[in-house]
Structures are given as structure tokens and as C-alpha cells.
């Protein structure tokens, strides 16, 4: 249920307006509903330093990171979220979650990260309407709740394969017990729009996605298996992309312009993951791929993470890899064509992002509700790759043979 | 004046060796205070149609893991931090910190809430009036008529 607001407020204004509106609705309901409620929250205080002076480390859709913009920043992982769950009846519950987190507009204005009604139709069937977190991966429904994750942040290689973090729609969860297995079928349809920074460019894409999804999760003892498919359609454009497409069409390159354009273009996300979580070990592995059309790339990514619980300490290691391939749009212009370089730059910025990373870290429990995490990420972009970073320095970033970069993070995660 | 030890050795001693020795000493002293074992009992209201549970079933009920056989049971946690810690360490292999992480996943994804935590006097009153209740108590606190469906010993 998307609330439409006039454009003159801008994205941040829209978010604030939605937040105020939804909060007001819930607060107005409180006297009537003075009943079952549950207030909870989560947060992270931390600092991260990145040793690449010619590009910023990218996290999600945040347009700035540590690195070229600032050696160190407290903005990368720091956040504060509050959630109110209201029991309206035995079957009906409302949830509102507001999170102040570094966002796509480069500020910390709180966003409504959950606002939905949940209808428990039966013991095993649950419907949700409103704003939800994208549920495609093992940790994506609580990707901001770092306290409940083994790392400082989920591996970006996999978790940015589909950079849709919030969406508005309707979904159903169905639980089915089979012998010792508990199966969860999670399906829905949703819409989202967001801005996404393009690698090696100051350009941001305006993305609009209509998605449907089915995720099946099977749990037995310490084991969790999850597989998902999300057939979707998207629009993605920016002033730079639009200008290039207009120039191509004016030059008679209509076929190439149509190949590059992302307008109601189909793509499907396929994902699979496994987790083993017991008193001694927490092991997670996921793989995802997203064949697509238009000028954006087809990413395929995977990670394996192993954490060993030793009393209050949990050391962990994560290996991740991101590959990008070109599915649909090729630069068919002759190198002498005046538009050749622009098309090449657009394709390169969105396709040449391959990288590998090794993360070493340790988490230390601090009492009942906070955890200290120290993590070092060694990131090696492939040759001829922008490494999925952002804000590259034109000319100085070594695209042909990128160096090994190090991201150092100290965070305290907490819940209340 | 010439220093007896190089500066880096002094730093190493004060920043690493001394704290480690202190930690080790405290660990040894505290470990020496281990007392006798105590028994924790999982109890149900007399009206509940359960006679015996195993550890996995207790874990499944208290963590609301979705086993439909026990969906009508209401569980309560205790404010007694040590008792609660011993209980979850035994039945779920979880520290209190990990238990919070477990419930954080459930709460922030809309899949459940942790059991209500109540102090002992309120706990006793709840036990009397909640006919589908399950909770845990020290073995010598089991109210008359309540059924013990699972019990275990922990070091005090």
C-alpha cells in the first residue's frame, strides 16, 4: 500500500511524510487499542575505515562510504531502529518499524522500514499487507538487525544482487509440518522504487520494481534450507541514461537503444541458501543469480561463512565472490562512432564489478543484549573491474589491475 | 637514565600480560566457588494434557518453533536471570545473548514474540489461574498439584 505524495517534497520529504502519517495513525489508534503491545528496538554504533583512496566502499544503496570520501566513517553501519507491534485482536496485529540509517539520500532521516497489518487466518496461515522487508535471502528480512547476524553486515556480494530492500505489497506465509521438518512457504507480490548509485559514476538510477516471489524454507534441528524465485519487472533510468538513449534514437540506432533501455523489462532472481546453527557452529552459505535485460548486468554471487562459538567469543571467516556477465545489450557501434564511448562507459559501469572478498572477524558477547564485532574485509576486485565500489576517482582508480583493499570495522550491536 | 626494560616490553606487560593474568586469576577464583547441583523442573498446570516431555520438545515449546502439537500452551519466563540462563543453556544450548538474537529474528520479521517474563509472586499467581501454562521452577518450588514434565540438574 504505497502512499502517493506530491513530488515537490522530494524523496526525503516523502519518507518523512509517510513516517509522520503512519506514526500518527498508530498513535491515534493507541487509546482505542490500549491493549496488547510490544515495543522493541535494535541498533549499531560503529566505525569503519577503508584504505582505498580512489573509490568508496559500497553498502546497499548508500551513495557514500568509507574510502575516497572519508578514510573512516561512523555512518556505514550505525543505525537505530524501533518497532511497535500492536495486537488488535487474536487474529490481527499491526507492526510499525522506523529506522534511522544512512540512506540513499545521504542522510539519517528515519525511514518506515516496516508498516503492515498481519492477519493470522489460521494456526498455519498468515497474511501481511503493507510495507515489508524483501525476504529473498536467509538474513534479508532482518538485514538491519546486525545483532542477530554473525557479521558486521551481510556479504554485499550476494545481498546486493537484488538491491531492493523494502517493498509495499501483500504476502502470505504458510507453515507445514512434515515429520521433523518445518516448511515455510513465503509468497507475495510487491512494488518498490528507489535510487541506486552507479559504479564509477556520480549517476544514480531511478529504479521502479514490480516483483512477485516464492521462498521455501525447510528447518530441521540446526539445519535451515532456503530456496527462492522472484519473477519481476523493472524500470531503471537516469538523466544520463535517458540522454544517451535519445541521442542513439536520433542517430538511427533504435535497436541498440531498445536493447539498452530498461522499461518494464523482465528479470528473475534465483536464490538458495543453507544454514547450520547449533551451540558450537554457525555456518551459512548462499548463492544468487539474476538474469536480466537492458543495460544492467547479470550478477551471480555466492558466499560461505563459518563461525565457531567459543564461550563469549565467536570468531568467523567469510569468503564471497561476485561475477557479472552481459546478457542482453552489446555495444554494436563502431569505435569511431561519437556515441561509442558513452555506450561503453554505461555498460562498463554496470557490468565490470567482479570481485572476491575474505572477511575475518570476531564477535564478543557483552552481556545479555549487546555484542562487539571487529571485522577486517580483504577485497580484491578482478582485473578490469570497478569492484562494485562507488565514487571512483576518474583516472586514478586502477581499473586494469586493482589493488587488494582492506575495510576495517569495529561495531557494537544491540537490541532492546 | 637507562631503563631496566625496553619500552615495548613494558607496554606489552601492562597492556597484555597484566590483564591476562588478572583474568586468569579471577577465573580460577570464581571456578573454585562452584557449589552443589540444583534441579530445575519444567511444570505444567494440572489441566494440561501432557505427562512427559523430552529436551527437544521443551526447547521447541519455549522457543515457539512452530510444532503444532503444542500451540495452545502458554509459556512464561522468569525474571531470575541465573535460573533463566541455566534453563536456556540446558534446553537450547543458548547463552542469554544468543537467546536475544534468536528472538530478535522472530520479532523483527513478525514471526513471534518472546514469552512474558514475570517475577516470582506474579509467577505463582499466573500459575494458579492459567490453565494452559508451562514454565520452569526450582524443584523445591513446584506448586502443589502441578505436574513436572521434564527436569534436569545444573551446577549451582
Is A98 a domain residue? no
Q: What is the reported pLDDT for A7?
A: 40
- Does any domain span residue A164? yes
Q: Could you read off the pLDDT of B24-49 as tens digits, one per residue?
A: 665 555 554 545 689 999 999 888 88
- Structural domain includes residue A231: yes
Taking alpha carbons only, the member of B150, B153, B154 closest to residue B61 is B150
**Closest residue in B to A116 (Cα–Cα):** B110
Q: How far is B64 from chain A (nearest CA, A)?
A: 12
| CB nearest B113 (choices: A38, A116, A148) | A38
Does residue A220 lie in a domain region?
yes
Q: Could you tell me what percent of chain B has a pLDDT over 90?
A: 41
Mutate to test the interface with B, among A44, A112, A142, A313 (most CBs of B within 10 A): A142
- Beta carbons of A142 and B104 less than 8 Å apart: yes
Higher pLDDT, B70 or A45: A45
Segment A135-146, tens digit of pLDDT? 999 999 999 999
Is A207 inside a domain boundary? yes
> What is the edge-to-edge ordering of all strands in the sheet holding B116-118?
B116-118, B74-78, B133-138, B37-44, B147-155
- Residue A105 domain flag: no
Does any domain span residue A286? yes
Note the pLDDT of residue A14: 52
pLDDT tens digits for range A112-153: 999 999 999 998 999 999 999 999 999 999 999 999 999 999
- The minimum CA-CA distance between A104 and chain B, rounded to whole Å, is 22
Q: Could you give the CA distance from residue A312 to residue A257 in angstroms, rounded to a whole number? A: 57
In whole angstroms, give the CA distance from residue A338 to residue A353: 25
- Least Cα distance to A242 among A202, A206, A209, A197 occurs for A206
Q: Which residue range(s) make up the domain with A250?
A: 44-74+117-415
ipTM reported for the complex, 2 dp: 0.87
The number of folded domains in chain A is 1
What's the rounded Cα separation, in Å, for the pair A178 and A403?
Answer: 50
Contacts of A185 in chain B (CB under 8 A): none
| CATH code, domain with A128 | 2.40.160
Confidence of residue B16 (pLDDT cuts 50, 70, 90): low
Task: Report if residue A99 sits inside a domain.
Answer: no
The position carrying cell 507445514 is A176
Amino acid at each position: 500500500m504505497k502512499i502517493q505524495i506530491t513530488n515537490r517534497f522530494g524523496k526525503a520529504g516523502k519518507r518523512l511524510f509517510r513516517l509522520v502519517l503512519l506514526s500518527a495513525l498508530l498513535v491515534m489508534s493507541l487509546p482505542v487499542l490500549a491493549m496488547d503491545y510490544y515495543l522493541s528496538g535494535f541498533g549499531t554504533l560503529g566505525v569503519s575505515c577503508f584504505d582505498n583512496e580512489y573509490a568508496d566502499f559500497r553498502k546497499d544503496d548508500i551513495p557514500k562510504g568509507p574510502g575516497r570520501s572519508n578514510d573512516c566513517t561512523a555512518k556505514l553501519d550505525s543505525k537505530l531502529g524501533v518497532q511497535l507491534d500492536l495486537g488488535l485482536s487474536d487474529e490481527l496485529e499491526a507492526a510499525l518499524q522506523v529506522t534511522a540509517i544512512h540512506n540513499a539520500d545521504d542522510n539519517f532521516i528515519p525511514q518506515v522500514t516496516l508498516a503492515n497489518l498481519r492477519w493470522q487466518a489460521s494456526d498455519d496461515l498468515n497474511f501481511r499487507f503493507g510495507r515489508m522487508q524483501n525476504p529473498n535471502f536467509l538474513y534479508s528480512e532482518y538485514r538491519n538487525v546486525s545483532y542477530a547476524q554473525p557479521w558486521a553486515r551481510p556479504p554485499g556480494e550476494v545481498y546486493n544482487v537484488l538491491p531492493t530492500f523494502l517493498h509495499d505489497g501483500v504476502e502470505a506465509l504458510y507453515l507445514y509440518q512434515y515429520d521433523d521438518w518445518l516448511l515455510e512457504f513465503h509468497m507475495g507480490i510487491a512494488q518498490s522504487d528507489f535510487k541506486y548509485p552507479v559504479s564509477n559514476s556520480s549517476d544514480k538510477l531511478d529504479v521502479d520494481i514490480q516483483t512477485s516471489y516464492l521462498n521455501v524454507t525447510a528447518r530441521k534441528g540446526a539445519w535451515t534450507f532456503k530456496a527462492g524465485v522472484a519473477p519481476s519487472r523493472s524500470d531503471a533510468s537516469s538523466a544520463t541514461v535517458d540522454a544517451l538513449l535519445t541521442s542513439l534514437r536520433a542517430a538511427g540506432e533504435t535497436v541498440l537503444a531498445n536493447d539498452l533501455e530498461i522499461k518494464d523489462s523482465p528479470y528473475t532472481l534465483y536464490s538458495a541458501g543453507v544454514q547450520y546453527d547449533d551451540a558450537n557452529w554457525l555456518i551459512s552459505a548462499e548463492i544468487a543469480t539474476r538474469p536480466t535485460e537492458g543495460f544492467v548486468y547479470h550478477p551471480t554471487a555466492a558466499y560461505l561463512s563459518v563461525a565457531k562459538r567459543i564461550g563469549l567469543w565467536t570468531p568467523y571467516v567469510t569468503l564471497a565472490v561476485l561475477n557479472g556477465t552481459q546478457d542482453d545489450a552489446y555495444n554494436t557501434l563502431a569505435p569511431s562512432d561519437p556515441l561509442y564511448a558513452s555506450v561503453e562507459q554505461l555498460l562498463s559501469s554496470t557490468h565490470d564489478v567482479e570481485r572476491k572478498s575474505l572477511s575475518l572477524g570476531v564477535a564478543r558477547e557483552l552481556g545479555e543484549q549487546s555484542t562487539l564485532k571487529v571485522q577486517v574485509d580483504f577485497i580484491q576486485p578482478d582485473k578490469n573491474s570497478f569492484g562494485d565500489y562507488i565514487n571512483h576517482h576518474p583516472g586514478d582508480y586502477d581499473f586494469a589491475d586493482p589493488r587488494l583493499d582492506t575495510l576495517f570495522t569495529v561495531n557494537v550491536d544491540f537490541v532492546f | 637514565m637507562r631503563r631496566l626494560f625496553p619500552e615495548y616490553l613494558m607496554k606489552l606487560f601492562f597492556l597484555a600480560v597484566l590483564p591476562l593474568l588478572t583474568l586468569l586469576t579471577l577465573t580460577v577464583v570464581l571456578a573454585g566457588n562452584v557449589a552443589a547441583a540444583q534441579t530445575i523442573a519444567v511444570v505444567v498446570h494440572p489441566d494440561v494434557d501432557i505427562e512427559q516431555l523430552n529436551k527437544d520438545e521443551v526447547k521447541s515449546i519455549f522457543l515457539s518453533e512452530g510444532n503444532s502439537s503444542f500451540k495452545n500452551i502458554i509459556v512464561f519466563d522468569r525474571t531470575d536471570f541465573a535460573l533463566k540462563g541455566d534453563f536456556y543453556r540446558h534446553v537450547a544450548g543458548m547463552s542469554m545473548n544468543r537467546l536475544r538474537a534468536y528472538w530478535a529474528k522472530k520479532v523483527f520479521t513478525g514471526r513471534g514474540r518472546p514469552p512474558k517474563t514475570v517475577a516470582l509472586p506474579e509467577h505463582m499467581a499466573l500459575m494458579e489461574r492459567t490453565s494452559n501454562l508451562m514454565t520452569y521452577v526450582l524443584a523445591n518450588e513446584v506448586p502443589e498439584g502441578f505436574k513436572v514434565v521434564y527436569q534436569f540438574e545444573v551446577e549451582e
